[in-house]
Amino acid sequence: MNPGNTPPPRPEQGPPPTDKTKMAIAAVLLVIPIVALLWVPSYARDEPELWGFPFFFWYQFLWVFICSALTWAAYKLTLSARGLTTHKAGEDR
Amino acid sequence: MTPQLTVLAADTGGVNGVALAVLIALFLLVSVAGFMASRFKRGESLESLDEWGLGGRKFGTWITWFLLGGDLYTAYTFVAVPAAMFATGAVAGFFAVPYTIVLYPIIFIFMARLWSVSHRHGYVTTADFVRGRYDSRGLSLAVAVTGFVATMPYIALQLVGIQAVLEVAGVGGGDNIVAKDAPLFIAFAVLAAFTYSSGLRAPAVIAFVKDILIYLVIIVAVIYLPGQVGGWDNIFGAAQEKMTTVNEATGKPTGAFLPGVGQGWAYATLALGSAMALFMYPHSVTASLSSSSRNTIRRNAAILPAYSFVLGLLALLGWVAIAAGTQPIGLDGEPNAQLVIPQLFEDMFPAWFAGVAFAAIAIGALVPAAIMSIAAANTFSRNIYKEWIKPDATPKQEAKVSKLMSLLVKAFALVFVLTLDKQNAINFQLLGGIWILQTFPAVVFSLFTRWFHRWALLAGWAVSMVYGTVEAYQVINPVTGKHFGGSLAMVPGLDEMGYIAMTAFAINLFIAVVLSAILNAAKVANGSDETIPFDYFADADDPRVQKDLAEHSSHGEPYGDPDDIPGNAPAR
C-alpha cells in the first residue's frame, strides 16, 4: 500500500469485472420498494379493505414480501454480475 | 390523555404476585445461564460457545436470521412503537413498518462494501474507516463522538421499556422521589450489573433462550389478542374513533388514523431517516462486520424483512389496547402510554403468562442495551481514548476504559430518561437518529467515492449536528411542556412537517457538496487514502480478509479480539 500518489491500479487491485447491465437492473429492483413506500399519498387511504384491515395497513404488509423478493432477486443478480470473484451462488457459510 | 383514564387508577395498583414471580424466576434463569456459560467458556472447550456468537460466524443463513431477528425485537418494538400507536396513531407509530422494510435495500447497497474494506484493513468501527479513507483524525473523531452520543438515547429507550414492565408488575411506587422512580433505577442497576459482569458473552449465549421467549410471546399476542377484543374490524373502528376525538390539551384530534393531507411527508421522512440511520450505530456496524462473508449480509437483507411483518402486527397491538380499553396508569396515578403493552398483557393473559411476557420484554430490552453500551464504549476507547488521550495505552488499560465507558454511557442514558419526556419514548430513538444520521455522508458516500472533501464532510457534519439538536430542543410537548418533545419540525421552504434528521441531513449534504466543489477546485489536499478499489470487493476467500477473520474469531466474541474487547483489535 502506497498512500498518496498511487500508480494506476493493476488489474487485481481494481474492481472485479462486472456486468454493468445486471448491476443496473439490481439497483432498480432495490429502489422500487423505497420509492413505493416513501410515496405515502399513493396508499394513505381506507379502501379497499382486506380482512378488516384498511388499505393503508395491508398494502404495507404486502410490501414486506415484495421487498423481500426484490432484494433476493437483486442478490442473485449481483452474484452473477460479478462472476467468480464473489462466493459461488448458494454457498452457505 | 382524557380525564376518564384516571378514574380507574386504583385497578392497576398493587403487585401482581404471580406475574412478578414468573418474571423474576425467568430473569434469574436466563442471567444465571448466561453467567455460567461465560465461566465455562474460559476453559478449553471453545467449540460449543463459538457457535453461539452473534452474527453467526459459523451459522448458516437461517440460524443467523433467527438470531438477528431476536435482536431486532427490543423495547422499541415491544413498548415504544405500540405506545406511539396507542397515544397518537399511525404517523407517530406505524412508520416503523416502512422504516424496517426500506432499511434492507439500503443496507444491501453499501454494507457489503463496508464489510470488504473493513476486513482488508482491520477496521472495526466506522470511525476507523473514515480515518483510513481520508487520513483525517478530525473527521474520524466526529464520527466516533457521534456514535457514542447517539447511542445514549437509544439505550434510554430500553431503560424505559424495562421500567414499564416493572411498573406494571407492581415494583416501586410511593410518593417520594426515590420510590417514584424505583423501577427505573432497578432497571439501570440490573443492566449495569449484567453488562459489567458478563460483557458480550452473556448476550451471545442466552440469545437462543431469549429469542424463543420473545417469539412465543409475539405469536401468542398477535394471534390470541385480536380475537379477544372483537377482531380487526372492531380494533380499527375503536382506533379511528379515538384518533378523531379532540384532545383537550391541544384542541386538535388525538392522533392520526391514517397519515392525512400534509402528513405524508412526516411519515416518509421518519421512515427513510430511521432506515438510513440504523446501520450507522456502533452496535449495528459491529454486528454486520462479524458476519462470515460479504454476502451473508446481502442474503440476510433479503430474508430479514419478514420480521417487519411481525413488527407491524406488534405495532397494531397499540390499537388492540384501544379496543380492549386498556388503561395504562403509572404508579404515580398518571396515565403513561409507555405502559400500554405490559398493561394489556396483564389484563388479557393469565398471570403466569403475563409473567412470561414481561420477562420477554425485559430481557428483550436488556440484551440490546448491553450490546449497544459495549459497542459505544469500544468506539470510545478505540477512536477517542487511544487515538487522542493515551496512544500508548496497554490492552489492559483499554479494556478498563471500555468497561468504565459502558457504565458511563448507561448513566447518561439514565439522565436522558430522567430529564426528557418519557411519555413519548419512541422519541428517544428518533433523537439518536437525528445525530447518528449526520455521519452517513462521511461513511457511506466515502465507500463509493473520494470526490467529497474531508473538511467539507466535517463542516457539513458540524452544522447539521447543531441544527438538528437545536431544532429537536425547540420541539415542545404541548401536554407536558418539556423540550425535546418530538422529532418533527417544519421543513424550511417546504411548509410541511418532516423528521428533523432528514432536514439536517439535507443541510449536511448541501454543505458537503458545495464545499467539496470549492475545496477540490482550489486543489486543497484531501488526505491520503490507504484503500484501493479492490478492497471494496474483497470476500472471505481473500488471504488478508481470512487473516482478519481468523484474528477476530480466536474466541467466541462477536468481532472480538484477544483481550476480549471487541473493537480493540489492533489496527493494521
Which DSSP string do the residues of B400-467 spell out, in sequence order? HHHHHHHHHHHHHHHHHHHHS-GGGTHHHHHHHHHHHGGGHIIIIIHHH-S-S-HHHHHHHHHHHHHH
Sign of CA dihedral B531, B536, B537, B541: positive
A–B CB contacts, 8 A cutoff, strictly below: 148
According to the per-residue pLDDT averaged within each range, which of B194-203, B396-405, B515-524 is highest? B515-524
Determine the Cα angle at B43 with ends B47 and B197, to 5°.
105
DSSP secondary-structure letter at B256?
A: B
Confidence class for position B178, pLDDT limits 50, 70, 90: low
- Residue holding cell 465507558? B405
Q: What percent of chain B has pLDDT over 70?
A: 81
Q: What percent of chain B has pLDDT over 90?
A: 8
Give the residue among B429, B320, B360, B383 at the shortest CA–CA distance from B99: B429
Chain B nearest C-alpha distance from A21 (Å): 16
For A13, which of B232, B258, B533 is closest by C-beta distance? B533
Has residue B507 got a pLDDT over 90? yes
For B97, which of A52, A60, A72 is closest by C-beta distance? A60
- Residue holding cell 374490524? B233
Confidence class for position B173, pLDDT limits 50, 70, 90: low
What number is the average pLDDT over the span B375-397?
82
Distance from C-alpha of B320 to C-alpha of B348, rounded to nearest angstrom: 11
For B534, which of A15, A56, A70 is closest by C-beta distance? A15
Chain B nearest C-alpha distance from A84 (Å): 11
Is B262 at the interface with chain A, CB within 8 A? no
Whether residues A86 and B539 touch (CB distance < 8 A) is answered with: yes
What number is the average pLDDT over the span B388-409?
81
Distance from C-alpha of B557 to C-alpha of B551, rounded to nearest angstrom: 11
Has residue B56 got a pLDDT over 50? no
Whether residues A39 and B268 touch (CB distance < 8 A) is answered with: yes
SS (H, E, C) B413-430: HHHHHHHCCHHHCHHHHH
Q: State the pLDDT at residue B562.
A: 36
Sign of CA dihedral B532, B537, B539, B541: negative
Q: Helix, strand or coil for residue B335? A: strand
Confidence class for position A77, pLDDT limits 50, 70, 90: confident
Residues on chain A touching B301 (C-beta within 8 angstroms) = 71, 75
Q: State the pLDDT at residue B504.
A: 92
For B303, which of A30, A60, A68 is closest by C-beta distance? A68
Whether residues B105 and A30 touch (CB distance < 8 A) is answered with: yes
pTM over 0.95: no
Whether residues A44 and B533 touch (CB distance < 8 A) is answered with: no
B172 CB contacts (<8 Å, ≥6 apart)?
B166, B179, B180, B181, B182, B183, B186, B331
Has residue A11 got a pLDDT over 70? no
pLDDT digits (tens, 9 = 90+) for B272-328: 999 898 888 888 887 777 777 787 778 878 877 778 888 888 888 888 888 887 777
> Is the confidence metric ipTM above 0.90 for this complex?
no
B198 CB contacts (<8 Å, ≥6 apart)?
B34, B35, B38
Confidence class for position B141, pLDDT limits 50, 70, 90: very high
Whether residues A6 and B293 touch (CB distance < 8 A) is answered with: no
* Closest residue in B to A23 (Cα–Cα): B109
Has residue B270 got a pLDDT over 70? yes
According to the per-residue pLDDT averaged within each range, which of B173-187, B203-217, B305-319, B538-552 is highest? B305-319
Residues on chain B touching A77 (C-beta within 8 angstroms) = none
Which of A10, A13, A75 would you mutate first to test chain B, the one with the most B CBs within 10 A?
A75
